[in-house]
Structure 1
Amino acid sequence: MQKFTSLAFFRKYTLLLFGSLLLLNACKTDNNPVPPVEENQYLEESNVITELSKDKIIQQVSSLAPFVSGYVKNDVKVYKLTYKTKNTDGVEITASGALILPVTDQPVSMISVQHGTIRDDSSAPSNFSDNSEAASFGSLFGSMGYIIAYPDYIGYGASKDLPHPYEHRASLASASLDMLRAAKEFLRDQSGVKWDNKLYVAGYSEGGYATMSLQKKIEEEASSEFDLRASSCGAGAYDKTAFMEYVINSPTHGISSYNTLYLWVMLTYDRIYKLNRPASYYFKEPYTSRIATSGANVTINQSFNTILNDSFKKDLNDGTDKGFIDAIGDNDVYNWKPKTPTRLYHGDNDKLVFYFNSENAYKAMKAAGATNVELIPIAGGDHSSSLPLYLLGTREFFQATK
């Protein structure tokens, strides 16, 4: 009898002990929960595009300027990211961009680089074709020890079937910001490179305009998401209202490739803001028929103002055409007060994007109370020749604000 009593006691004690251990373990689990896996809100896919050695990068950039090869320090690994963003009509779409990672075990900062004007998808950063801006400048800055986020913008890469919203402030800013958000999600889930959470933004030409637009959006809407340290904007058309008034009323260079871009801006705004005017409203013959058929792919070898209807110019100058005037004004990005240290680089002999764009932005920002904005004129520089000095100045500026 004693034997069975002892066995029953042992079984009871064992069950109580086991239950206690389970309870203790449950309490321990509750006090130290396993971190939940964060779901991506923006990033859809990431794929390796290529890997470039330090020697390969030196070979590529030496054609730009031989002395820059001395800045090359690291191999790089290049990814294509696809991510969610919204089109100009608010519909969610998939966009893309390149993310360039330096091969290093040291913590590094990120630069969001907004590319200049391109006319074909092969030049998009995520295609990373030879001699493209991303393959040259992106690889160079990546090899210096920066993570480079390079958005394609809407209309290129994964969204190539959509029209590019050329020089449209809001969509350039949102597509670039959402690329940064996707890059942040990608970096969170990898161990190849450590981001120190510092962010810089830079771009030239359309990229300068996109950079200013992105900077403004980050400061006003996403300052808690990113530690934005500095912004370097080169030769952007920030004062769209003054720019349009100038090309409509003043004799200009008559350079066909430049006129194509002015035309592209007009047609983009007509489409996005649903003005839906016939070509005959804006332009004289024979350009009316050509533009109606070919859009911006028209050769214009004369001052741009000479192809415009006098009635259209009059409606703009006297304020009658409120729709077009409001569309232009909605894309101004010069008259605000930046908080981030900002540099405006611009050649003072730029015949494509006139110097007054940066000068007007600088004056407006200073008048608004900005204390950390600099205007860096490039004496005698035109749109192309000013680029190397912009790149060197940007490197020095970002190094100084680390």
Structure 2
Amino acid sequence: MPVVSYRSFLRSTLLLLTCSVLLTACGGGSSTAQTNLADNASNASNTIALPAIPPRITNTRGALLNGELVKTNTVQDSTAAVSNPITKTPPLIPLYDVKQYRVTYQTLDGSNNLTNASGVIAVPQKPAGAKSPLLSFQHGTVFFDREAPSNDTAATSPMNILASMGYVVIAADYIGYGESRGKEHPYLQKEPSAAAVTDFITATKQWLAEQRLPLNDQLFLTGYSEGGYVTLAAQQALEAAGIPITASVAGAGPYDLQYTLDELLSTKALLAAAGGALGFSRPAPAAKYPGKIDEATVDVLLYFLIPKESDIKFSKTFLLDWMADDYDTMRRNSLYDWRTTTPTRLTHGRDDETVPYGNSERAISGMRAKNTPDIALEVCAAVPADHTNCIKPYAQVMTEYFSTFARDL
């Protein structure tokens, strides 16, 4: 037999033997082995397709500093947390174990200075290479550092529960908590509130890239109370930067600062009764930085809003603006009359005495007047529909609404 023909015969024989061993049909048909080979090829392709890890940025907003594992919660842990009768979580079915990491990064404080901050990243334990949507959770007002997200990694935490459903969940501690404890928390100040979130999103994407944990192209924002306010602040900042947001749900936030403080303080006659009896008086607009008597007035008002035993230092700026009738600043820090392009849902209860319900009415009216294309208000049906009772209904609206968009859960 000529050499060329023999080699041709040998190649054909080896090919047939290979096909037989692998149980594949050369030229047609299918088999389990063929499917496994295709799956392996797909997995290899997914691994190869992971983008190169970008170099870290340094000494600027969004710079990643460090990350460490602090807690692992199993599906069983999360299921028990959801099943707890006192939980504020709607009935959900956890799907994944969750690892929570404390991550430090750089952002701006209330004085516009670069500072170190922290937050938590909760990662569902999916197969290697599986993508996830990113969900940024903005926490409500907490008065103790132990309640900050990176310090509260229990299975009952919102970050853990949401991550157990398949989202990569992040939550910034905010300035004044965690890594930045001791600094003034820039309470109800729009720009530093937004920066803490948007810069953490930047740092998170860097950390996830380094861990080879891929995201899909979806970003969700949500929060309740102060977290509702911070959610809309971050949403406005992200849209201004051209960063697309898949959907947003904000619950019971103080979106109109002047209205909120007028309702909480003036209607309780604190200035007329307590203030008048103590000899305090509302300062003139020029008195933006009050003297000792006016400072005492602010401290009295702060006492009604912040528990004395709180270990967090709250900035008084929002109260000083209100006391001085600085309407321009209060309006700049408000979030009720702007146009958002993100599909947005607000939730609120009519009986809310902590954050007056009128905030959401004003936000809906103002944002629709600015031609917002997709926004609605879901009124809490709890009885009474107060701030605490409406947390669980908010969570129900949020999880159901996001589920209509979410992929790769």
TM-score range, shorter chain: 0.7 to 0.9
Q: How many Å separate the matches in 1 of 2:187 and 2:150?
A: 18
One of 362, 365, 368 as aligned partner of 2:367: 365
Output the amino acid matched with 1:201: L
Tell whether 2:301 aligns with 1:281: no
- Partner of 1:28 in structure 2? none
Structure 1 alignment gaps of length 5 or more:
1-33, 254-258, 260-273, 300-311
> Separation in 2 of the partners of 1:35 and 1:97?
25
Compared CA separation, residues 127 and 36, structure 1 to 2 (3 A): closer
Who is 1:140 aligned against? Answer: 161
- Counterpart residue number, 2:102: 80
Pairwise CA distance, 1:345 = 0.3
Structure 1 position 163, deviation (Å): 1.4
Which range is displaced more, 362-371 or 34-43? 34-43
Matched with 1:160 is 181
Conserved 8 A contact 1:202-1:232: yes
Shift of 1:327: 3.2
Partners of 2:216 and 2:322 lie apart in 1 by 49
What is the Cα deviation at residue 362 of structure 1?
0.2
User: Contact 1:122 / 1:129 at 8 angstroms: preserved in 2?
Assistant: no
Matched, 1:204 2:236: no
Report the secondary structure of 2:329's partner residue. helix
Q: Distance in 1 between matches of 2:215 and 2:115?
A: 27
Q: Distance in 2 between matches of 1:36 and 1:78?
A: 21
Q: Secondary structure at the match of 1:116?
A: coil
- The equivalent position to 2:266 in structure 1, one of 243, 249, 253, is 249
Residue among 381, 385, 392 paired with 1:381: 385
Residues of 2 paired with 1:293 and 1:344: CA distance? 29
Q: Deviations over 1:303-322 (max 9, x none)?
A: xxxxxxxxx99x979xxx45
Q: Using a 3 Å threshold, how does the CA distance of structure 1 residues 401 and 292 change in structure 2: closer, same or farther?
A: closer
Q: How does 1:211-290 map to 2 (within 5 A)?
A: 211-221=231-241, 223=242, 226-251=243-268, 275-278=288-291, 280-281=293-294
Query: Which one of 62, 71, 82 corresponds to residue 83 of structure 2?
Result: 62
Distance 1:343 1:375 in 2: 6
Name 2:315's counterpart in structure 1.
Answer: none
Contact kept? 2:221, 2:249, Cα under 8 Å: yes
Q: Distance in 1 between matches of 2:165 and 2:306?
A: 38
Counterpart for residue 184 of structure 1: 205
- Structure 1 match to 2:193: 172
Decide which of 107, 116, 119 is 2:143's aligned counterpart.
119
- Structure 1 residue 35, shift from structure 2 partner: 6.5
Q: Secondary structure at the match of 2:246?
A: strand
Q: Summarize the Cα distance change of 1:39–1:371 in structure 2 as closer, same or farther, 3 Å threshold.
A: same
Given residue 84 of structure 1, which amino acid in structure 2 is its aligned partner?
Answer: Q
State the 1:68 CA deviation.
4.6
Report the Cα distance in structure 1 between the residues aligned to 2:392 and 2:303, rounded to whole angstroms: 38
How far 1:129 moved relative to its partner? 5.0
Could you tell me how far apart the structure 1 residues matched to 2:359 and 2:304 are? 29
Structure-1 separation of matches of 2:340 and 2:193: 18
C-alpha distance in 2 between matches for 1:344 and 1:68: 17
Between Structure 1 and Structure 2, the one with more helix by share is: 1
| Greater displacement, 141-150 / 103-112 | 103-112
Summarize the Cα distance change of 1:281–1:326 in structure 2 as closer, same or farther, 3 Å threshold. Answer: farther
Deviation at 1:341, TM superposition (A): 0.2
Give the whole-Å Cα distance in 2 for the aligned partners of 1:202 and 1:362.
17
1:393 aligns with 2:397: yes
The alignment status of 1:94 with 2:116, answered yes or no, reads: yes
Q: Does the 8 Å contact 2:153/2:160 carry over to 1? A: no
Q: How many residues align?
A: 325
Report the equivalent of 1:6: none
Q: 1:170 deviation in Å?
A: 1.2
Cα distance in 2 for residues equivalent to 1:48 and 1:279: 47
8 Å CA contact retained: 2:261, 2:322: no
Provide the residue aligned with 2:93 in structure 1: 71
Contact 2:350 2:386 (C-alpha < 8 Å) held by counterparts? yes
Distance 1:292 1:348 in 2: 24
Q: CA deviation at 1:357?
A: 0.2
Within 2, Cα distance between the matches of 1:66 and 1:330?
Answer: 33
Match of 2:328 among 314, 326, 329: 326
CA distance in 2, matches of 1:108, 1:37: 19
In 1: Cα distance, 2:90 partner to 2:264 partner: 37
How many angstroms apart in 2 are the aligned matches of 1:240 and 1:397? Answer: 27
What SS does structure 1 have at the residue aligned with 2:157?
Answer: helix
Maintained 8 Å contact 2:90/2:395: no
Q: Secondary structure at the match of 1:196?
A: strand
Shift of 1:187: 1.1
C-alpha distance in 2, partners of 1:86/1:128? Answer: 23
- SS of match in other structure, 1:245: helix
* CA deviation vs aligned residue, 1:350-399 (integer Å, no higher than 9, x gap): 01101100010000111111120011111341100011111011011111
How far apart are the structure 2 equivalents of 1:180 and 1:166?
20
Which stretches in structure 2 are left out of the alignment for 5+ residues? 1-50, 275-286, 310-318
| Aligned match of 1:8 | none
Q: Distance in 2 between matches of 1:52 and 1:386?
A: 27
1:64-98 per-residue CA deviation (whole Å, 9 max, x = no partner) reads 45985642100001111100111121211000000
Q: Which secondary structure state, in structure 2, belongs to the residue aligned with residue 236 of structure 1?
A: coil
Q: For the aligned residues, what is the CA RMSD?
A: 3.3
